[in-house]
């Protein structure tokens, strides 16, 4: 958050955090592949069973492409959205 805020002079949004995680997951899938073609990247993604991102843990179970992941609970305090709790599956 500090690096993002110093670069953009804004706090990161949920969308920015999810985008960051998506690219980190893609990079993880590409690392160690013999080629960077679509099929190789797809194989790399299929091999991921667990990913720890800035938005929480993602678990890929039974070869499914939908992850079980952490849920973020936010609360409103004095009109401001604030982090309350992270719940892991």
**pLDDT tens digits along 13-33:** 878 888 999 999 999 999 888
What CA dihedral angle connects 69, 70, 75 and 80, to 10 degrees? -80
Looking up tokens 């959205």 gives: 81
Q: Domain of 43?
A: 2-87
Q: Using CA atoms, how far apart are residues 58 and 34, in angstroms rounded to an integer?
A: 25
Residue pair 1/11 in contact (Cβ under 8 Å)? The answer is yes
Average pLDDT over every residue of 55-59: 85
Q: Could you tell me the pTM of the whole model?
A: 0.70
Domain count, the chain: 1
Looking up tokens 């990913």 gives: 51
Decide: helix, strand or coil at residue 85: strand
Q: What percent of the chain has pLDDT over 90?
A: 24
Average pLDDT over every residue of 45-50: 88
């Amino acid at each position: 958050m500090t690096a993002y805020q110093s670069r953009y002079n804004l706090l990161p949004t949920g969308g920015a955090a999810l985008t960051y995680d998506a690219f980190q997951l893609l990079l993880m899938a590409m690392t160690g592949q013999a080629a960077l073609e679509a099929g190789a990247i797809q194989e790399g993604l299929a091999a991921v069973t667990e990913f720890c991102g800035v938005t929480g843990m993602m678990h890929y179970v039974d070869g499914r492409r939908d992850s079980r992941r952490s849920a973020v609970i936010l609360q409103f305090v004095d009109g401001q959205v604030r982090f309350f709790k992270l719940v892991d599956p």
